[in-house]
Amino acid sequence: MSSFQDYYQTLGVSRSASADEIKRAYRALAKEWHPDRHPEDERAAVEQRFKAIAEAHEVLSDPQKRQRYDSLGADWRQGQEFQGAGGIDPEQFARMFGGAGGGAGFSDFFAQMFGDMFTQGPGQTRAQRPPQRGADAEAVVALTVGEALLGGKRAFTLRSRVPCQACASSGRLATGACPACGGLGATADEKTVELAIPEDVRDGQVLRLRGLGSSGAAGPGDLLLTLQVRDDDVYRLRGGGDVEADVEIAPWDVLAGVSVDVAVRGGTATAKIPANTRAGQRLRLRGQGLQRRAGGRGDLVLVVRLALPAELTNDQRQLLQHLAAASEPVRGGAAS
């Protein structure tokens, strides 16, 4: 960053802080302020804070730079190129996060999260690691019961961070921090993915979409997509893969019975409503629900509701009035 900042204040340590204290402070702040841990609308401010933390650690963790900073303050950069030991040695980071002695998985996780901040400084050597596959990403997509029941396709937006092309993921250029990625080594990316809703979809199911995770030298990781199935205006999710829906018929259709077409996956099914069926009665279409966890499909349960046409003629209104006058009161539910 070009403007002067109090690095000790940025890391929340005293001017006499030891190397270990600086290391611990940086570790906690870097986890707290990493941009991927914050909502999209806060990213700009969070990225500035994260860059300040990284810069403070870069200076205070280097004994020579820290000595110049303590002696010269705002003028400490004069007489040197401020790009020296750019970044953090991965072995150092592994020691900071417990990578040595069996904690490598934890360090690898943060290496993937923080990206190419983990570069070597001058004079440092280490064994070359083989190219790494990109990290798997995770996302959640909400489907309505109707979408899950009837199938089809559903488009959703996938937001991720990809390696910065301007600085080859290093976060720095010869002139200083990379302006394209703000020194983070990665930029925001957004793409639309079209999902073909699987035949066996169920609430809480996790799909693995190959190659839609984070980029890596050995190829991208995968996207682990969790499906959440939610009720809609027509269909309601019930236990064991059963789905419930209302079917509306006219009162006069109840007298002789009627057949209605019901939308199911792959087309329609015909439901026969027997004569004299009462409102609220349930009819079960076997195997037309959602996939059960234990295998097989649940049922589609139709709840009969009585309804009148949206518009009635005067003759129809008079007939209904005559029917009402000649009939005993009908009450349902909790009414007495």
Nearest 5 degrees, angle CA 42-CA 173-CA 19? 70
pLDDT band at 332 (very low <50, low <70, confident <90, very high): low
Instruction: With a cut of 60, say whether residue 105 has pLDDT above it.
Output: no
Looking at the DSSP bridge assignments, the partners of residue 243 are 237, 300
Q: Which range is least confidently modeled, 69-73, 208-212, 313-317?
A: 69-73
The verdict on pTM exceeding 0.95 is no
pLDDT at 336: 44
pLDDT above 60 (res 158): yes
- Could you tell me the pLDDT band of residue 76, with boundaries at 50, 70 and 90? low
pLDDT of residue 18: 92
Question: Which of the residue ranges 15-19, 53-57, 63-67, 189-193 has the most confident prediction, judged by mean pLDDT?
Answer: 15-19
Q: What's the order of all strands across the beta sheet hosting 235-237?
A: 235-237, 243-249, 300-306, 282-285
Checking if the pLDDT of 96 tops 80, the result is no
Rg (CA), the chain: 32
- Which stretches does DSSP call E strand in the chain? 137-144, 153-163, 172-173, 176-177, 186-196, 206-209, 223-230, 235-237, 243-249, 258-264, 267-273, 282-285, 300-306
User: Which domains does the chain carry?
Assistant: 130-230 (2.60.260.20), 238-326 (2.60.260.20)
Residue 302 in this model has a pLDDT that exceeds 90: yes
Q: Look at 72-81, 185-194, 258-267 and tell me which has the smallest mean pLDDT.
A: 72-81
The dihedral of CA 69, 75, 78, 81: what is its sign? positive
Query: What percent of the chain is modeled with pLDDT above 90?
Result: 8
User: With 90 as the cut, is the pLDDT of residue 327 above it?
Assistant: no
Q: Does the pLDDT value for residue 54 go beyond 50?
A: yes
How far is residue 16's CA from residue 28's CA, in Å, rounded to a whole number? 19
Report the distance separating Cα 290 and Cα 296, nearest Å.
9
- CA distances (Å), origin 328, targets 111, 256, 323: 77, 21, 10
- pLDDT level of residue 157 (50, 70, 90 thresholds): confident
pLDDT tens digits for range 159-168: 777 778 888 8
The mean pLDDT value of the chain amounts to 78
Cβ atoms within 10 Å, residue 59: 21
Section 176-182 average pLDDT: 82
Most confident of 76-90, 128-142, 313-327: 313-327
Say whether pLDDT at 154 is over 80: yes
Nearest to 111 by CA among 214, 20, 24, 7: 214
pLDDT (tens digit per residue) in 259-297 = 988 888 888 888 899 998 888 889 999 999 998 888 888
For residue 27, pLDDT beyond 50: yes
The residue among 34 and 121 whose pLDDT is bigger is: 34
More confident residue, 298 or 187: 298
Residue 181, pLDDT above cutoff 60 = yes
Cβ–Cβ < 8 Å for 245, 264:
no
The pLDDT value given to residue 242: 92
- Residue 84's pLDDT band, with cuts at 50, 70 and 90, is very low
- In angstroms, the CA 96 to CA 23 distance is 7
